[in-house]
Structure 1
Amino acid sequence: MLLMDWMENRGINMSYSDYAVRIDLLAKVKGIDSAQNYFNNLIPPAKNQLTYGALLNCYCKAKMTEEALALFEKMIELNFASTSLNYNNIISLHMRLGKPEKAILLVQEMRKKNIQLDTFTYNVLMQSYASLKDIEGVQRVLVEMEAEDGVKCNWTTYSNLASIYVEAGLFEKAELALKEVEKKMKPRDLMAYHFLISLYAATSNLAETKRVWGSFKSAFSKINNMSYLVMLQALYRLDDFDGLKKYFEEWETGCSSYDMRLANVMTSAYLRRDMVKEAELVCQGAIDRGSVLNFRTMELFMDFFLKVRRVDLALRYMEAAVSKVKENEWLPSRERVSNFLGYFEKGGDVDGAEEFCRLLKKVNHLDSVAYHLLLCVYVAAGKSEPEMRRRIEADEIEMSPEIEHQLEIICPV
């Protein structure tokens, strides 16, 4: 980014591809408005297929549907949309918006215009049919790929297919697809190995998961944190507690940099078995190695102590999370908020509920849902709060019929 600033300030000629790269960088660093203004101020010859495509990509990633579709229509008028790349952007946008049927229609449009489908297009098309629970449609896409151009059927195609079969509960078909992944992948393709391990675990096949891990270790002399994380997550999913402990200890012994994500997997496995002391020892070991407990760690202990009805301890971890949080860095999930306040409601614990809501307010998450649940606690406890209506107004909370009804009970006018 700084280099491009320097080039433009010095009047150094930039290629059209440079302009396109700059649009992408501006969107990432300074936001969409900055990228859009830059595009608008380009000289007419620089507003070509590359720069239009770069801006379209920015709109699609930001889910700016109206802007993306309007720009795409303009590109069609200018004959700038005649490549699979631009169609792939719009197709992916529709998938992210949960509209697979529109993605399928766009692929049909590509075929009418004789725009060649690439591997990415086919993979997303398979996902589109899968989203519509049309497994036969998925299989038709695969047959078409294999018949049209075998080169397009790389390992990602069969990994994608295996994932679809797993989601549909067709584990035998998924494992057949994974065998194709192994045939198509290169001997030292890190990402392919990660997918194999995760997807074999998703089929509940521990033996194949461990076999692939053995092949992986033979192919790579040094194994990084991410690869160990993939394996630990797979073993956690398979509930192979002994294997999980073994590989966690193996990783801890040999790692050059401590990664709290791996410790969290082991912590979660211990808490799943109500082995809270052991989970705490894992966290202490991480701290001793210079790591810092992250928000996921706090959530694991919150959920555990809520489960065993030690809300006081769950609240302590909530306090720890809030004390560490920076602006927009972390928020408790809706489910977690509901669980906390649900326990306070059952116990008629107004003080606990108020303390929890005080913490929510610190992270700007004391909204209408939380207030509604807080009022439920007051109603359950049979307590009044004359100042509640004023508090709600001060916090600019939208007054729903439910909240209004509760207020009539706990602070009647």
Structure 2
Amino acid sequence: MWALRRASTPLRNHGYRVRTSFVFGKLEVPYFGEGNIAGFGTTATLSDRFISFERNNLATWPSSGICISSHGLSTQAGAENSGEEVNMEDGFSELDETHPTTRSEISDDDENVVDDGTQNELDLPEGETGLAEKISRKRAPSELTKAIWNAPALSVGSALDKWVSEGNELSRDDISSTLTSLRRRRMFGKALQFSEWLEASGQLEFNERDYASRLDLIARVQGLDKAESYIAKIPESFQGEVIYQTLLANYVIANNVKKAEEVFNKMKDLEFPMTPYPYNQMLILYKRIDKRKIADVLLLMEKENVKPSPFTYKILIDAKGLSNDISGMEQVVDSMKADGIEVDVGTLSLLAKHYVSGGLKDKAKAILKDMEEINSKGSRWPCRILLPLYGELQMEDDVRRVWKICEENPRIEECMAAITAWGKLRNVQEAEKVFDRVVKTWKKLSTKHYSTMMNVYGDNKMLTKGKELVNQMAERGCSMDPFTWDAVVKLYVEAGEVEKADSFLVKAAKKFGMKPLFNSYRTLIDHYARRGDVHNAEKIFEKMIQSGYLPRFSQFGTLIQAYVNAKTPAYGMRDRMMAHKVFPNKALAGQLAQVDAFRKTAVSDLLD
């Protein structure tokens, strides 16, 4: 474990020194040196409530002098109605970039459902939590699934009553398969109605996983307050580890530090077995919110004798890669190997993505070659990872070669990967060719599939084509969800019509009663800031907060940049940041200095 903690620290010239004596006790901001805090005190409380254990209070530990990278770490994963920040600067790039269901979205038509190592950030192990219903390996959706798909939005219960009255029987396998299909297609509202009907009609005797699944659906559809209230309604005998894992995961999605810490503490107080899962969740959360505490979590794992899981390593590898600490990333891989954990294709894909983004093309190509060797042994699923990476590397011949492996009988995720790859190569015609095949082959498409093609149009500023695709979605009965909105916003913005993107998002949120993705707000505020449009940047900033997205370094940095570009002072910005417990690093402090209304200039004294 010590090797892992050491690997998780950056090169000396990349980091700030952290006093781990305050780990999970009274958390303090360490002294950064004069001038780097932009007027803040040298210490400040980061949370109203802290992770603190009576049995294992780390506040008395001596300092270990661990360094944590000052670069932004990362996570990504959007979440409808959950508060998740999508594709942030501190996002988890390798993990599924769609709604964070318990596994990456896999088509029902994919007969080879495998764990490819690219789990979403929740890292919810199938069979161990209530969030991961059994993955169906049937090629076609069941009649039960079709009945729910085709039911009116708020009439799932009536459709199910009719379905049962016609003599159809329900088995637990049928129920699990149907819930999984609904989740994959982000039909969370219908999935919740199905779960409620199952209990009310007595068709299913609920166990802890069933209650946990309901809890997760409530969090997604109705919000976290409702989800937390629901726990009191669960029979006490079923209020176990799975329930609290589910709640913790959803608070992590929402970046709610206070609540996540409370749930983590609660799990300790209830003396649940502390597996790597809750620690991984806290790693993900602190990776977004306070990266200095990554080493603290690892230190606590070592103290508690909790062995890192493969997912723990993936979090650290991704964090290092996205902070552009390639050397540190490779050290984590070395520690992973030293602990006897296989570097699987999921890990290889993480490495390849960060080598690509870091401009290390030769290293990326070597990794991709290793992944292709797995393909040669009969497994085809790495194609869905290889295609976008070859596209990113502008290796058109290799995109064609890999696509040829799949082209005769492609799976839907391979088609999506090919569309993404052709989009990166700016070959819209080839992307459209693959998408047309998807539309003709699979009758029930999710918004994810349409959004993939729409993003290609957005990247190529093809607004008319994008609008036509939205109309096609409506004609095929595909709902407009926040992921679709996000693609439309990007489409308008890339076409230079930022105001239309803003107006569209307001109307969509009002009409459908769902909150937009964080990424949609970020796209808008980035462009308003670039223009120096302080009024609209502030408007989007406030809407973001009202939607439940807590502003962090990046969002304040963007807002301040709007004032910089407008050449106007930002009154009270420091106080606003302190209210949100955001403490500037050196770069942010430099931005603040530029918009400080009371800043001294070379001629200030003369004018005074």
TM-score (norm 2): 0.46
Residue in 1 aligned with 2:245? 53
Aligned residue for 1:333, secondary structure, equals helix
Count of aligned pairs between the two proteins = 335
What amino acid does structure 2 have at the position aligned with 1:103?
Answer: I
**Of 211, 215, 231, the match for 2:405:** 215
Q: Is the 8 A contact 1:107 1:125 kept in 2?
A: no
Q: Which amino acid aligns with 2:386?
A: L
SS in 1 for 2:274: coil
Aligned to 2:387: 197
Deviation at 1:260? 5.1
Say which of 423, 426, 436 aligns to 1:252: 436
Task: Output the CA distance in 2 between the equivalents of 1:90 and 1:104.
Answer: 11
- Letter of the aligned partner of 1:237 in structure 2? K
For the residue of structure 2 that corresponds to 1:146, the secondary structure is helix
Q: Deviations over 1:319-344 (max 9, x none)?
A: 994796441557671244467787xx
Q: Kindly state the Cα deviation for residue 155 of structure 1 after the two structures are TM-superposed.
A: 0.8
Q: Does 1:168 pair with 2:358? A: yes
Paired residue for 2:301? 110
1:351-384 Cα shifts (integer Å, max 9, x gaps) = xx9xxx9xx99xx89x9x9xx99xx8xxxxxxxx
1:49-128 alignment runs, 5 A limit: 49-97=241-289, 99-128=290-319
Q: Tell me, yes or no, if the aligned pair for 2:492 and 2:501 is still in contact at 8 Å.
A: no
CA contact (8 A) 1:245 1:266 kept: no
Distance 1:282 1:88, change over 3 A: closer
1:21 to 213, 217, 222: 213
Quick one: distance in 2 between partners of 1:160 and 1:73?
A: 31
Q: Distance in 1 between matches of 2:211 and 2:390?
A: 43
How far is the alpha carbon of 1:123 from its aligned partner?
0.3
Residue 141 of structure 1, CA deviation: 2.0
| Post-superposition CA distance 1:73-129 (Å, at most 9, x none) | 2322333152011212211222232x3332333233323433222221110021233
Aligned counterpart, 1:238: 425
Tell me, what secondary structure is at the counterpart of 1:129? helix
Unmatched runs of 5 consecutive residues or more in structure 1:
307-313, 343-352, 377-399, 403-413
Residues in 2 aligned to 1:10 and 1:283: alpha-carbon distance in whole angstroms: 45
- The whole-number CA distance in structure 2 between the counterparts of 1:54 and 1:339 is 39
* SS in structure 2 at match of 1:162: helix
Task: Supply the distance in 2 between the matched residues of 1:223 and 1:149 (Cα, whole angstroms).
Answer: 33
- Aligned pair in 2 of structure 1 residues 184, 92: CA closer, same or farther (>3 Å)? farther
- Does residue 129 in structure 1 map to residue 313 in structure 2? no
Q: What is the deviation of 1:143?
A: 2.1
Cα distance in 2, alignment partners of residues 129 and 119 from structure 1: 16
Look up the equivalent residue of 1:252 and give its one-letter code.
D
The structure with the larger Rg is 1
3-state SS in 2 of match to 1:169: coil
Q: Percent identity?
A: 20
Aligned AA (1:16):
E
Q: CA deviation at 1:213?
A: 1.8
CA contact 1:56–1:68 (8 Å) conserved in 2 = yes
| Structure with more of its chain in helix, by fraction | 1
Distance 1:8 1:80, change over 3 A: farther
Q: Relative contact order, CA 8 A, sep 6+: which one is greater?
A: 2
How far did 1:157 drift?
0.8
Equivalent residue for 1:36?
228
Letter matched to residue 390 of structure 2: Y
Rounded to whole Å, the distance in 2 between the matches of 1:176 and 1:59 is 38
Task: Give the 3 Å change call, closer, same or farther, for CA 252–80 of structure 1 in structure 2.
Answer: same
1:216 to partner: Cα distance: 2.7
CA distance in 2, matches of 1:339, 1:144: 42
Contact in 1 for aligned 2:454/2:469 (Cα 8 Å)? no
Q: Is the 1:100–1:129 contact (alpha carbons within 8 Å) kept by the matching residues of 2? A: no
Partners of 1:148 and 1:66 in 2: how far apart? 33
Report which stretch shifted further, 102-111 or 250-259. 250-259
The amino acid that maps onto 2:400 is K
How much does 1:33 deviate? 2.0
Query: SS state of the match for residue 105, structure 1?
Result: helix
Alignment CA distance shift 1:116-1:180 (3 Å): farther
TM-score (norm 1): 0.64
Change (3 A) 1:131 1:340: closer
C-alpha root-mean-square deviation of aligned residues, in Å? 4.4
